[in-house]
Structure 1
Amino acid sequence: MIPKRTLLLSILCAASLSACAQAPDAGDEGRDPAAAPAVEAIETTPGTPEDRARKAIESINPQIRIDSIAAAPLAGFREVIVNGQALYVSDDGKYLLQGSLFDVEAKKDVSQAGVAAVRRKLLAAVPDSERIVFAPANPKYTVTVFTDVECGYCRKLHQDIAEYNKRGIAIEYLAFPRMGLDTPDYREMVSVWCAPDRRKALTDAKDGKRVPTRSCENPVARHYELGQRVGLTGTPMIITEGGVQMPGYLPPDALLSALQQVDASSGAGAGG
């Protein structure tokens, strides 16, 4: 596991990996030169609550990445999704609230719907060719798992990969070298993603076996940036097709039960 960052630190670091983690130099072996895309600007109409919310957030960090601005479940506020977390800015741009927004009558956390929608959009942009997939023939559920080759719970999850598959759960791995970029952990994950048989290389790495050093154009740094953007605080991070984050590592039966509960509460079908 990796330590959970405070929300304020997440906000201040959201715009650039270089502010919070040591990024590899442009010439580093195995580094994808397109790994750090430019910050996408959110367009807002001047004078609107959305525009005032954007300006309020950007006053904290002018280069911050905002993924979504929309009406909040709380009257008089806009919901702003930053770094996989929901913030609430008053329509006049003066006040900012952080933390969960709980609907007492409905008895649910209403701050997660917007976050889940952003996660769905971001993960949908990751091509199948970048994922390392372990899946049954006809999966009932598919989850995205940000994984590291060294963390204990990541290894524990992978040891039971056949059991997840037996329960109809497909595991689609993305890379998250928890020690950061330009580290031995990062370079080993590059070697895994550059291997001719990624599934075997990932299994070997998680079993502590040596993986031959390789370099190629690879998505590891992009996945690392994406993990931060969707709010990763520890590995493995398990996300449903609907963008719902599971509460850390779950054994096969527990994950199946959690996915079924998500179905029951959302009514959106398997994996949603």
Structure 2
Amino acid sequence: MRALRTSVLLVAFGVASLTACAKVPSDAAPRASTLSRTAGSTAEAKPAAGTPDARAVDAVRALEPRAVVEHVGAAPIPGFREVVVGGQVAYVSDDGRYLFIPGSGGALYDATQKTNLTEASLGKLRSALVAKIPASDRIVYAPANPKHRVTVFTDISCGFCRKFHSEIAEYNRQGIAVEYVAFPRAGIGSEDYRQMVSVWCAPDRRKALTDAKSDRPVPARSCKSPVDMQYDIGQRAGLTGTPMVLADDGTQLGGYVPPARLRELLDKLEPAKTPAAG
């Protein structure tokens, strides 16, 4: 199994800034995570070596060295210890191998292999769902000979979606083909939804999408658009914010990810080539 440390754990432990717009609109301005800590900024738990508590702390540090464990102790689940990192609760198996982060976006990690077991399962589901979206229903920006391809669930009004699109030429220069699908995060029937239908019904979808993300007027249109179907697939794929960037195997690579960093992540995901026989 490939070991790719995704942003899920970093966000959960508050050491990465949010890079996606929430699915449900909020009047609150984006804020830095209250979980963000650095070593020495708060009291750290220092259990005796060789104990289940110590193994729990080691498991957290194996996955994210910057995390500060503020508390470790008995968990309500037999065979697990409870750890607190900046107010976020996680559960670690007594042998220190498995770490579970509950709640929205929660995941189960193998601390030994440094893999997100939940993401591996969800990736298969996402890949199967996205495969149902015909190529003709996507808005594609691609270089002549792409090295990688990503599917991006996007919205028109989301600031992170706009930032991603403003760098579309650089993603292409990195050898990445970007295939957009629609996710009006305000929901079916919203103004975002109507604008996205107009984009997908436009004779030049690429120009219409760029115009919409740049606050240039897009003529209102209606047609038998794929927006409803793509929105439904985004919901079923577990989307919680836009953009959601997916590799071909369904691995979620972000939110907004800078072009060079996205190329790095995609290169790491690429299966090792099998040496030719002979």
Structure 1, unpaired ranges of 5+: 6-96
The answer on whether the counterparts of 2:23 and 2:186 sit within 8 Å (CA) in structure 1 is no
Deviations 1:129-167 (A, max 9, x none): 100000011100000000011111111111111111011
Picking from 73, 81, 103, the partner of 2:110 is 103
- 2:163 is aligned to 156
Gaps of 5+ in 2: 1-19, 25-100
Whole-angstrom distance in 2 between the partners of 1:3 and 1:251:
19
1:234-266 Cα shifts (integer Å, max 9, x gaps):
111100011100131011111111111222xx5
Q: Distance in 1 between matches of 2:194 and 2:226?
A: 12
Residue matched to 2:137: 130
Larger Rg: 2
1:214 is aligned to 2:233:
no
Show the counterpart of 1:3. 22
Is the contact made by 2:23 and 2:242 (CA closer than 8 Å) also made in structure 1?
no
Match of 1:174 among 178, 181, 184: 181
* 1:267, distance to aligned residue in structure 2 (A): 3.6
SS across alignment from 1:101: strand
Structure 1 runs of 4+ with >4 Å offset: none
Q: Does 1:229 align with 2:248?
A: no
- TM-score, L = length of structure 1: 0.61
Following superposition, the deviation at residue 4 of structure 1 comes to 7.0
Q: Partner of 2:150: helix, strand, or coil? A: strand
In 1, are the aligned partners of 2:21 and 2:159 still within 8 Å (CA)? no
With normalisation by structure 2, the TM-score equals 0.60
What is the RMSD of the two structures over their aligned residues, measured on CA atoms?
A: 1.9
Residues 267/137 of structure 1: CA separation in 2 closer, same or farther (3 Å cut): same
**Does the residue aligned with 2:252 lie in a helix, a strand or coil?**
coil
1:195 to 196, 199, 202: 202
From the superposition, tell whether residues 187 and 206 of structure 1 become closer, same or farther in structure 2 (CA, over 3 Å). Answer: same
> 1:112 matched to which residue of 2?
119
Aligned residues: 176
Question: Residue 8 of structure 1 corresponds to which residue in structure 2?
Answer: none
Q: Which residue does 1:241 correspond to in 2?
A: 248
Identity %: 53
